[in-house]
Amino acid sequence: MAPTATQAAGSAPVFKTKRPLPFPLNIYQSAIGRKWVMAWTGIGLLGFVIVHMIGNLHLYEGPSRMYEYAETLRDLGGGLLPRTLLLWIMRVGLLAMFVVHLHSAYTLKERSRLASERAGFVGGAKKYASKRDYIAANYASRTMRWTGPIVGLYVLFHLADLTWGWWLGDAYVRGDPYHNVVESLSSIPVAIIYVVANVALAVHIFHGTWSMFQSLGVNNPRYNGLRRNLATALVGVVLVGNLSFPVLVQAGLVDEDNRDCPVNDTTGLECLEKEAGAH
């Protein structure tokens, strides 16, 4: 860069340029590239959320159908692959997307914080003394950095709750998802956590869905309105689906009253397997 006689203070870079990594890793080194990766991982995670929600609708078909769905997931890949291998591959992939999504979000947030810090002497981070009068930024876009962590923590809770069975203790039956879900969601605090977290997830998805087209640069001015509608529709579907589980369990519409099989990890599972086989 050519020197300027006055060496204006504003010409001093705020961020150091890093040594470029080999292609395609260098894409992730730039903020725009990172947003691009964030959008792709967001799409992946969003896909998971939708599929997961649809899959969970099996809950309404009763314990054996739910058992069958869970077994099908474990059997993915048919006889070609060892049992649960494909599921594990998907889980690892999902985890990787999750980690990358989180990492990009955190580092980009840090970048923006640094770009705004010491911007003035009001506060430190970018703040204006007068209340900021936002025009375009909506609640969803401004709270991504809150809804994100809420969803993250919720995922951990959700795994601990229904995959690892930390909360239910003896009541947890590995391999009987119907029972576990109903058991867990019958507790009012747990139901509240699920409701709150899913609302946060919906808010997060709302901005994310609109935003990913922008980050990927696949927008067209003609379809800008459509993007907003798509975001709203997606959020509606995910929200209704996911909230239906805690709400209906709490309302007593989903319970174990009509269950034929016993609840345990021996005879209970055998019974479920038999029922499933009869379908």
Partner 1 sequence: MAESHSGGNGPASNGLGNGVLDSRVPDGPMADKWTDHKFSMKLVNPNNKRRFEIIVVGTGLAGASAAASLSELGYRVKVFTFHDSPRRAHSIAAQGGINAAKNYTNDGDSVHRLFYDTVKGGDYRSREANVHRLAEVSLNIIDQCAAQGVPFAREYGGLLDNRSFGGAQVSRTFYARGQTGQQLLLGAYQALAKQVAAGSVELCTRTEMLDLVTKDGRACGIVTRDLISGEIAAHTGHAVVLATGGYGNVYYLSTNAMACNVTAAWRAHRRGAYFANACYTQIHPTCIPASDEFQSKLTLMSESLRNDGRIWVPEQLDDARSPDLIPVAERDYYLERKYPAFGNLVPRDVASRNAKTVVDQGKGVGPLRNGVYLDFSEVIERDGHPAVAAKYGNLFDMYERITGENPYAVPMRIYPAIHYTMGGLWVDYHLMTTVPGCYSIGEANFSDHGANRLGASALMQGLADGYFVLPYTIGDDLAARLGEPVVPLSDPVFAQAVSEVNDATQRFLSIGGTRSVDWFHRELGKIVWDCIGMERTSAGLEKALSEIPALEAEFWADLRVPGSGANLNSSLEKAGRVADFFELAKLMARDALVREESCGGHFRAEHQTPEGEAQRDDENFAHVAAWEWHDTGTVQTRHVEELEFTEVALTQRSYK
Partner 2 sequence: MSGTNGQASHGGTLSLTLRIWRQDGPDAPGRFHTFDAPNISEDMSFLELLDIINERLIEGGDVPIEFDHDCREGICGMCSLMINGRAHGHELATTTCQLHMRKFTDGDVITVEPFRAKAFPVVRDLVVDRSSFDRIIEAGGYISVNTGAVGDANQTPVPKEAADTSMDAAACIGCGACVAACPNSAAQLFTSAKLAHLNLIPQGQPQRWERTEAMVETMEQFFGSCTNHGECTEACPKEISLDFIAFMNRDYVKAKIKNRKLTGQS
Query: What's the min distance (Å) between Cβ of 125 and partner 2?
Result: 10
Q: How far is the CB of 11 from partner 1 (least distance, A)?
A: 9
| Side-chain-side CA neighbours of residue 148 (13 Å) | 19
Amino acid at 274: K
In the list partner 2, partner 1, none, the entry touching 278 (Cβ below 5 to 8 angstroms by class) is: none
Q: How far is the CB of 249 from partner 1 (least distance, A)?
A: 59
Q: What tokens appear for 206 in the block? A: 């709302």
Say which entry of partner 2, partner 1, none residue 27 contacts (CB below 5 to 8 A, set by partner kind).
partner 2
CB-based contacts of 245, cutoff 8 Å, min separation 6:
56, 59, 181, 185, 194, 254
Task: Give residues in contact with partner 1 (CB under 8 A).
Answer: 1-6, 8
Q: Is-contact 15 195, C-beta < 8 A?
A: no
Angstrom distance (rounded) from CA 267 to CA 273: 10
From partner 1, partner 2, none, which one binds at residue 5 (CB under 5 to 8 Å depending on kind)? Answer: partner 1
CA distance 261 to 274: 10
Amino acid residing at 229: N
Closest distance between partner 1 and the C-beta of residue 146, in Å?
Answer: 37
Interface with partner 2 (CB under 8 A): 1-2, 4, 8-11, 13-17, 23-24, 26-27, 30-36, 108-109, 111-122, 126-137, 141-142, 144, 207, 210-211, 213-219, 221, 224
Closer by beta carbon to partner 2, 2 or else 278? 2
Task: Record the tokens describing residue 256, joined without a space.
Answer: 């174990």
